[in-house]
Amino acid sequence: MKIRKANVLDERTTTNVYIYENRKEEYIVIAVPDLEWSYLVRYEEEIETLRTKLLVSLRKTVVNEQAEPFVDKLLYWTREM
């Protein structure tokens, strides 16, 4: 499990982002407890489709201006695993 820090709610406060990879079953779980948000990513998902799904999911808890850069960070972090 990897733990990353991101400024999601505002520019001053950092939030822990937990990223768990299950290589045997080929998925990654992203969790942000401060937002009460999590998402399961399958290995076979296309990047653009995944980006859209993450944006739609995050817009329920985060404003759009903050969601787009955060999704880009999440995609980068999941690809580096």
pLDDT in tens, 31-79: 999 999 999 999 999 999 999 999 999 999 988 888 999 999 999 999 8
pLDDT in tens, 21-30: 999 999 999 9
Would the pLDDT of 9 be above 80?
no
- 2 in the Ramachandran plot: left (φ > 0), alpha (ψ -120 to 50) or beta? beta
Predicted confidence at residue 16, as pLDDT, reads: 96
Cα(34)–Cα(40) distance, integer angstroms: 17
Per-domain boundaries in the chain:
2-80
Q: If DSSP codes are grouped into helix, strand and coil, which group holds residue 44?
A: coil
Confidence category of residue 13, pLDDT binned at 50, 70, 90: confident
CB 57 within 8 A of CB 39: yes
